[in-house]
Chain A
Amino acid sequence: MAVVQLDRICKRYGGGGPPAVDDVDVTIGDGEFMVLLGPSGCGKSTTLRMIAGLETISSGTLSIDGRVVNEVPAKDRDIAMVFQSYALYPHMTVAENLSFGLRRRKTPAPEIERRVREVAEILGLAPYLARKPHALSGGQRQRVALGRAMVREPMVFLFDEPLSNLDAALRVNTRNELIKQHRRLGSTMIYVTHDQVEAMTMGTRICVMNGGRVAQVGAPLDVYWNPADTFVARFLGSPPMNLFAATLAEPGRVEAGGLRSRLTRWRPDALAPVVGRDVMVGVRAEDLSLDREAAGPEAGSVAGRVFAVEPLGAETLVSVELERGVECTARLSRGVQARIGEAIELFFPPTATFLFDAATTRAVPASAPLGAVH
């Protein structure tokens, strides 16, 4: 049980380049499942390692339950971590791997035995306690790594992309297992991933990072529907949100290339600061459809030529080239028959429009709730 507070945390490496982690300011509540999400090199793993005590903090304060732990060594922070590579000790059996941390803490032997048994039962590892890691499958190793953290009953759990070495089916299973364990333990968990599906499904909140900075923190769906900038907008969602460069000639509507859209979600005064400026208009792939009626009377539209069709079974991704080489992708129903080279017009409800200031990439705050149609 712990509150982890990052107060203007920075990480600079020698050499004078830009900081790897820049002014990160996040509070992770007690029992929360916080996901640090971002592309590789965005500083999420470094942030996690600073929380763990494996990296020094260049500036800022890190506190756990109000106690500043900047100078507290990793071994004294009462934090457990699950590594991407699992980092199981190859020369120890599963039971020894699980009990390694407890033995250090001078936990009485019967207590160690009890906890190892209990965790092994929960994770289905009981038959493998005498095995060495090399005799386990990938999924079993992953569970040992998780179990090694669980037996310690730490204040905070850290996960550094723990699922990325598993195959797709096992990943889904393990994801659900982790969600279950979080619910059961109620511990504070911080989870690093670049996988948006993991972030959306597991996190109570997600913290999207970009270039060492926090781009946005919020509940997964809130971040999805109210992205703070174009980076977050494109990072969450698959395929990424379509963005169209345009100039906002008049408040209320925008036209650029093959795109036309009404901006009904913004009151004129909200749009006033960007009128006459370059903006980015965003539409998610799943909001595009061939059905003008379904998109409503004030539907926006995108027109162009199909240049790629990807039938995925459950749905079909259709990529369209608008004029001037601008591309966009639509996620259409599986029945759609689209031929490459064919002219196509796609429609979207005006409530599914996003608007960003092109200069700052920040979202233009809307007055109507986002995703109102959904």
Chain B
Amino acid sequence: MAAAIARPAPSRSPLPRLFGRGGLALVIGAYTVYTLGPFLWLATMSVRTTGEISADHYAWPRPFHWEQFRVAWVDSDFATYFWNSTIVVVTAVAVVTLVGAAAAHALARYRFAGNRLVYGILFSSIIFPPQITLISLYQILVDYNLYNSLVGLTLVYISLQLPLTVYLLEGFFARIPQDLFDAAKMDGYGDLEIFRRIVLPIGMPAIATTLILNFIQLWNEFLFAVVLITDPEKRTLPIGIRAFMGDHFQDIGMIAAGVMISVVPVILAYAFFSEKLIRGMTAGAVK
């Protein structure tokens, strides 16, 4: 008991003691301004016309041109882009998460011939920049009639994000003690059930991390979308925003409005999963 009392609370970070609460608040405040500033600037621009912005970059919106959002959503087909993005990204992220988690579990837990070979191949695809696959992917999609289709883009997105997801989850899953699996086996559960009832819930913090990462990355993905989609009806949001950029004129106000629309789901996704993320990080203690 004496040892328990003498030991300082291990969960508390040493930072507050180092800086004092005031100093810490100052640092966090400065960092928040640094990261949030550009975003707020963009937010003000989204309700100003490009003419107003050109006149004074930093002025407070007066009046608020809320109609820019309506123009973007209705007249500039953002509703369609938004829907396309949602379908492609949600499907891709769902598949990546499920397949990635299953693959990571298999690689982390089962000894089979070629285990490390598969892992090595996956890992090597993380090392190379995805852009180098662009031309070959384009040709493959054309060959299989998937060029200029949302299905094709979804498949490409899955293949882009899967390796990193497997890599991250494998590292986490490998640290789940083997005893838990053995205990579940003794309790009568088969492999699939163990995956669903033990691995997924315990791995939730890691899964939530990859979920957010994948979602943000794919939601903002531009290069593959612009190459593999030509039909305006099938554009995703990043390409839709691109439409406001002409060769000689950039509609900054509308671009800002488009970006503000596109950023909403990202914030929602983060707000929804971050609680799980933080809870998972602090809970720890498997034993």
Binding site for B on A (CB under 8 A): 49, 52-54, 73-76, 79-81, 83-87, 89-91, 100-101, 104-105, 133-134, 141, 148, 152
Contacts and interface: CB of A to CB of B under 8 A. Distances in A.
Interface in B39-63: none
Interface of B: 177, 179-180, 182-190, 193, 198, 201-202, 204, 283-287
Contacts of A86: 179, 287
A91 B201 contact: yes
A83 B287 CA distance: 11
Contacts of B180: 87, 89
A104 B187 contact: yes
Contact of A89 (B185, B198, B204, B285): B198
Given A54-B182, A75-B188, A85-B177, 20 more contacts: A52-B186, A54-B186, A74-B186, A75-B186, A75-B189, A79-B186, A81-B182, A81-B183, A84-B179, A85-B179, A86-B179, A87-B179, A89-B180, A100-B184, A101-B186, A101-B188, A104-B189, A105-B188, A133-B285, A152-B187
Contacts of A133: 285
B195 to A, nearest CB: 14
Contacts of B283: 90, 134
A76 B190 CA distance: 10
Nearest to A14: B111
A84 to B, nearest CB: 8
Contact of A80 (B186, B189, B190): B186
Contact of B190 (A52, A54, A75, A134): A75
A83 B286 CA distance: 14
Counting chain A CB atoms within 10 Å of each CB, the highest count among B188, B190, B198 belongs to B188
Given A86-B287, A90-B285, A81 B186 contact: yes
A166 to B, nearest CB: 13
A191 to B, nearest CB: 16
A81 B177 CA distance: 16
19 contacts: A53-B186, A75-B187, A75-B190, A80-B186, A81-B182, A81-B183, A85-B177, A85-B287, A86-B179, A89-B180, A89-B183, A90-B202, A91-B202, A91-B204, A101-B186, A104-B187, A104-B189, A134-B283, A148-B183
